[in-house]
Amino acid sequence: MKHNVLFSNILRIDFFAMLFAQMRELKITTISASRPICIECQELIEQNDIKTNTPFSGEKSKKSK
């Protein structure tokens, strides 16, 4: 069974969001964020073939600095 899950206005998608989806056999297909996406999250997005119209910042997250 396929489910569509909408995540919006997320400041940072991290390992736990991906793990949450995987544990429930869900696939995140699209990400929308209110701010540019950090480089760590960009890597996760690209590795998991997730679509986004949100620009990438090219910088580390302020939370991980």
Total number of residues shown for the chain:
65
Reference 52, options 1, 3, 6; nearest CA is 6
Q: Does residue 47 form part of some domain?
A: yes
As beta bridge partners, residue 37 has 56
As beta bridge partners, residue 51 has 30
Q: Does residue 45 form part of some domain?
A: yes
Q: Does residue 63 form part of some domain?
A: no
What is residue 40's predicted lDDT score, i.e. its pLDDT? 83
| Number of domains the chain is built from | 1
Name the amino acid, one letter, at 48.
Answer: N
Q: Does residue 9 form part of some domain?
A: yes
Q: Does residue 16 form part of some domain?
A: yes
Q: Does residue 64 form part of some domain?
A: no
Residue-range definition of the domain harbouring residue 27: 1-55
φ, ψ of residue 30 in degrees (nearest 5): -145, 140
Is-contact 45 37, C-beta < 8 A? yes
Q: Does residue 65 form part of some domain?
A: no
| Tens digits of residue pLDDT in 10-56 | 445 566 777 788 888 888 888 888 888 888 888 888 988 989 999 99
